[in-house]
Every structure is written in C-alpha cells, then in structure tokens.
Amino acid sequence: MPRTNTTSSTAAGKPGRPEVLTEELARKIVKMIEVLPDMDVEVTWANVIAQVKRKFGHQFGRRVLAMKEWGGRALIAEAYEQAKAVQRQLRAQGRLRRNANMPRQALQLRIETLTAQLKAAQNTIEQLRLLQYDKLDILRATHFDLRREVSNLEKA
C-alpha cells in the first residue's frame, strides 16, 4: 500500500517542507513594518528581523525577507522601502526622536557627554562676556569724542 502524506506542501503539489514564509505571514510582516516609524523604532533590517522573531517566532534572514516575491512583487521589501521613506520624512520634519530605541545606559552616557559639552560652552560664553565687558569698560573710561571718530572713518 503506498504511503500518502496529507501535509499542506504535498496538497499543493510541492514536495518537501511546508512553506514557512507564506503570503499571509508576509502581509502581517508588512503591516508590522508599516507601523515601525510611528512607534519610534529605527527602520533597519536588523530591527525588522528582531521584531519578526519576537512577534511571529520565526528567524528569517534579510535576504529571505527582501527577495521573497508573491505575484511578482517583493511585498516585504516594498514595505521596508516605504517605511524607510516615511522615517526620512519624519526626521526631516523634526518629528522623530533619533535615540528612541537606544539602551538606557547608552542614553545616560549621551546625556552626560552633552551636558559636559553644554557646561564647556557656557564657560566659554562667560569668559567671552567678561572680555567684552572689559573692552567696553576701557572704551567708556577713554575720553574721546566718538562723533569725531565716526566722521574720521567716513572721510577715510
């Protein structure tokens, strides 16, 4: 008696393992990719792969996600490009936080360096302000006719 196998792959007439990345799963991945910019998640292939693993439990490579086509269209690659374009627009408009998905320790380090730069800039400004006050004080203490100096400059 011949052995019959009624799995979905043989029912479709294809031998081997059943397809994991189906069109239905791809459409779910497309919807997930489309909302990445709205969730302040950086649109990169590494993040897409991580989100797919976390949400759907499948570890697909970038090449599989980008190259797989249904009906002559690479649905996931198209969604990725559109999400990337949306993210670029949001970044250009200033409505996207750049460091939204950085780890807490990296953000704290970034805050410390920016704070140090700010304090250094404030010290420089204070020194320049004192220098300007000194120059103005010298100018005020000097007795000369400012109108005569301006007229001399206009004649020259």
Q: What are the structural domain ranges in the chain?
A: 19-93, 104-155
Residue 130 has pLDDT above 70, yes or no: yes
Give me the pLDDT at residue 45, please.
Answer: 92
Select from 17, 52, 46 the least CA-distant residue to 32: 52
Q: What is the pLDDT of residues 37-93, one digit of tens each?
A: 888 788 899 999 999 999 988 888 889 888 888 888 889 999 999 999 988 888 887
Burial class, 136, CB count within 10 angstroms (exposed 0-12 / middle 13-18 / buried 19+): exposed
Residue 139 has pLDDT above 50, yes or no: yes
Q: What percent of the chain has pLDDT over 90?
A: 30
pLDDT (average), residues 138-153: 81
Non-local (6+) Cβ contacts of 69 within 8 A are 75
101, two tokens = 């998905």
CA gap 98, 87 in Å, rounded: 10
CA gap 26, 69 in Å, rounded: 10
* Cβ pair 44, 80 in contact under 8 A: no
Helix (H) or strand (E) holding 12: none
CA gap 92, 4 in Å, rounded: 59
Give me the pLDDT at residue 81, please.
Answer: 92
Give me the pLDDT at residue 48, please.
Answer: 92
